[in-house]
Amino acid sequence: MIWKERLRSVCKSLSIDVQSSSGRKVEMEQKLDYVRALPSPVHRQLRDHDDNDLLKRTLLELRHSVIDNFPLEILSLIWLRYLSLLCHGNLDIPPEICRLWNLQTFIVQGLQTYIVPSVLVTFPEEIWGLMQLRHLKLPRFNLPDCPSGSVDKGRHLDFSNLQTISYLSLDCCTKEVIMGIQNVKELGICGYNTNSNSILNNLVLLQQLETLSFIFCFAQFPASAKAFPATLKKLKLESTFLSWSYLDIIADLPNLEVLKLMGFACDGKEWHPNVRGFTRLKLLLIEDYFLEYWNATDDNFPVLE
């Protein structure tokens, strides 16, 4: 397969041994003068300007070849910092993922179906050992609670460096998980739960959160804007089917500057905004198929640009 040939090319440049999918050992001894360069902002962030060591700038991009299972050969790339995959079905990440202790960016792309992404990525609890993680971008993924035994071993596992998460399954927004990602600045949540109100109340613990996205999440919307962090600046809703009246709660978010109402964000033909809300909103995007009547004045959005 194409992705295996590309992976082995990277392994050659690192002069390491890998295991083939059949379990046969493949020895890679020849060093190559090649490593794929990715001219993107992510790659520039991963560069170590004080150290030109090739190994510490290793990245692997397999998003142009579809995989069915997590490639075990990758687990030998212990200096890997950037990993991008493409799959069209559910993906289980093996416990040995903890070997990639330098990993900072993990991306999985999959097919987008109506409302809910088709790909579900499931992580083992060992994922909490990857303390260098900064960006997790997946169609939808399950994240287990932080292992309780970590405290007993003298250190508390968390993702203190994690800045971007999308899309975390709604069921995984437990207090234990939220406490482990307290420094996140951008969060996407996807899924459905009849007890969504109590689960979403945990979000107030994210005191550095600035950008929040929801896909298909609400059986019941939180009754107060205080359920969300006051630091929130950007909010995107998609396929949430909220009543337009719930936007009066969102209007009370004190620092909200950007609101994006994507397809099926709200359910109903009329929107009558609260005069007192959206005091700092600068950008409003409405991509909704139901709205027919919008009763708004300049007083509703005083600083809208």
In this structure, the answer to whether residues 213 and 300 fall within a common structural domain is yes
> Is 275's pLDDT higher than 80?
no
Q: Is the pLDDT of residue 208 over 60?
A: yes
Helices (H) and strands (E) in the chain — how many of each?
6, 18
Tell me the per-residue pLDDT of 139-188, one tens digit each, with 9 for 90 and over. Answer: 999 999 988 644 334 445 689 999 999 999 999 999 999 999 999 999 99
As for how many domains the chain has, the answer is 2
Non-local (6+) Cβ contacts of 78 within 8 A are 99, 100, 101, 102
Same domain for 100 and 185, yes or no, is no
Look at residue 5 in the predicted model and tell me its pLDDT: 59
User: Tell me: the pLDDT tens digits for 29-65?
Assistant: 333 233 343 433 333 433 443 444 444 558 998 877 8
Chain centre to alpha carbon of residue 152: 29
DSSP string, 42-54: HHHHH--TT---G
Assess if residue 279 is contained within a domain: yes
Q: Are residues 186 and 88 in the same domain?
A: no
Residues 255 and 192 both lie in one domain: yes
Q: Is the pTM of this model over 0.85?
A: no
Share of the chain above pLDDT 90, in %: 52
The verdict on residue 233 lying in a domain is yes
Say what percent of the chain tops pLDDT 70: 75
- pLDDT band (50, 70, 90) for residue 100: very high
Query: Residue 80 pLDDT more than 70?
Result: yes
171-180, 196-205, 208-217 — which is least confidently predicted? Answer: 196-205
Quick check: is 37 in a domain? yes
CATH of the domain at 297: 3.80.10.10
Same domain, 119 and 199: no
Q: Is 105 helix (H, G, I), strand (E, B) or coil?
A: strand
Q: What is the mean pLDDT of residues 82-93?
A: 94
Domain enclosing residue 261, as ranges: 163-305
Tell me, yes or no, whether 64 lies in a domain: yes
pLDDT band at 115 (very low <50, low <70, confident <90, very high): low
Residue 290, pLDDT above cutoff 50: yes
141 domain-assigned: no
In terms of domains, do 191 and 262 share one?
yes
Write the DSSP string, 223-280.
Answer: SSGGGS-TT--EEEEES--EEGGGHHHHTT-TT--EEEE-TTSEESSEE---TT--TT
267 and 199 in a common domain? yes
Rg of the chain taking only CA atoms, in angstroms: 22
pLDDT band of residue 117 (cuts 50, 70, 90) is: confident
